[in-house]
Amino acid sequence: MKILLLLSIITIVTLLIGKKVINLAKTNLFKDQAAWSGKDIKINYNSSRQANESKGKSNYLKMIADESKIYLDDQSNKEE
């Protein structure tokens, strides 16, 4: 009888401590998510005129493609 009572008390204490540990782990893991959950992200959009001007000036992929074409042309001329 004493063993059964002792085992039940140990089980109840273990469950209560385990529940507290799990709750603390949840709050620590999701702390950053809770900090951002209520905030709106503000995005500043450019007007269409500014967007068109920036595309012409900062088309880096086209600039890289042009430079690589010039480099490859120079390399093929050196081989010949």
The pLDDT value recorded for residue 34 is: 54
Judge whether residue 79 has pLDDT over 80. Answer: no
Q: How far apart are CA 36 and CA 54, in angstroms?
A: 31
User: Per this entry, what is the length of the chain?
Assistant: 80
Beta-carbon-side half-sphere exposure of residue 40 (alpha carbons within 13 Å)? 3
pLDDT digits (tens, 9 = 90+) for 24-71: 888 777 776 655 665 666 666 555 555 555 455 567 777 788 888 888
The pLDDT value recorded for residue 74 is: 85
pLDDT digits (tens, 9 = 90+) for 4-30: 999 999 999 999 999 999 988 887 777
The pLDDT value recorded for residue 35 is: 58
Q: How far apart are CA 36 and CA 32, in angstroms?
A: 7
The pLDDT value recorded for residue 14 is: 95
The pLDDT value recorded for residue 66 is: 84
